[in-house]
Amino acid sequence: MSKRNNLIIFGISGVAFILFILFVYLPYSEKQDKLNRVTESYQHSSYLKDSVGHMPAFSGTDQEGNRITHTDLKNMVTIAGFFYSECDGYCPTTTKYLAAIQNALNDSIPFRIISFTLNPEIDSIGRLKHYAEMYGAKPDVWHFIRSDEDVINLGEQGFRTIVKDGNGSFEGHSDRFTLLDKEGNVRGWYRGSDSLQIQALIQDVNYLVFKSDTYDGKDH
């Protein structure tokens, strides 16, 4: 091979290397650096606790008519709450705040909301779908569920939140949400009618997502 050909090959290789640095390596490096800085910036609120229990086993049907169980939430940071469609107490406020949480978070992160109806006899799948649409629920993110289990026991024994009053009626249920990490551990409770606690909840969801070594930034 002639000296001239060697110089041409060397020149082409050099240009290719420079283009690789400019258009592949540097953008990737910058993106990783930004992601690392963002990840390091996340801090949790004072409401986040060490594990204080585990997600209970459950199964049910959501507003789209799809079956859902606790196993579908594996590797997902999850907010759990309780409501019923005819509720005129906490539910309109807590559901509005859940909608705000849903919209504040990136669709691509491993995160879900599960809202269990306390009145499955009235809240049919069609009724749940209408209720979900009223609040702009994204079906892949937010599930309104008719549980197969005793929902009162599921709430109080499983998610450790108050879902009935002293008279045994679910009309006096609590406004608290339960936060669970990717391993299904209960990590805290937040009042769903308190805007400051809602901000803390959004903060803690992001913390549990981005501080996890398993998060790879891909769609889930």
pLDDT at residue 220 in the model: 42
**Distance in Å from the first CA to the final CA of the chain:** 52
Contacts of 42 (CB under 8 A, 6+ apart): 203, 206, 207, 210, 211
pTM above 0.85, yes or no: no
Pairing mode, strands 111-117 and 142-147: parallel
Element (H, E) at 115: strand 111-117
pLDDT at residue 167 in the model: 73
Buried b (16+ CB within 10 A) or exposed e, 22-56: eeeeeeeeeeeeeeeeebeeeebbebbeeeebebb
Q: Within a 10 A sphere around the Cβ of 162, how many other Cβ atoms?
A: 14
Length of the chain in terms of residues written? 220
Query: Angle at CA 140, nearest 5°, toward 64 and 45?
Result: 130
Measuring CA to CA, how many Å separate 214 from each of 7, 149, 163?
Answer: 47, 31, 33
Q: Quick one: CATH architecture of 59-210?
A: 3-Layer(aba) Sandwich (3.40)
CA distance 118 to 95: 14
- pLDDT string in tens for the chain (220-residue length): 555 555 555 556 555 556 555 565 555 555 445 444 444 457 899 999 999 899 999 999 999 999 999 999 999 999 999 999 999 889 999 999 999 999 999 889 999 999 999 999 999 999 999 999 999 999 999 999 999 999 999 999 999 988 877 677 788 888 999 999 999 999 999 999 999 999 999 999 999 999 854 444 444 4
Query: Angle at CA 131, nearest 5°, toward 184 and 124?
Result: 85
Question: Model confidence over 103-162: pLDDT tens digits?
Answer: 999 889 999 999 999 999 999 999 999 999 999 999 999 999 999 999 999 999 999 988
pLDDT at residue 172 in the model: 80
Q: Where are the beta strands (DSSP E) in 156-196?
A: 176-180, 186-191
pLDDT at residue 169 in the model: 76
Percent of the chain surpassing pLDDT 70: 77
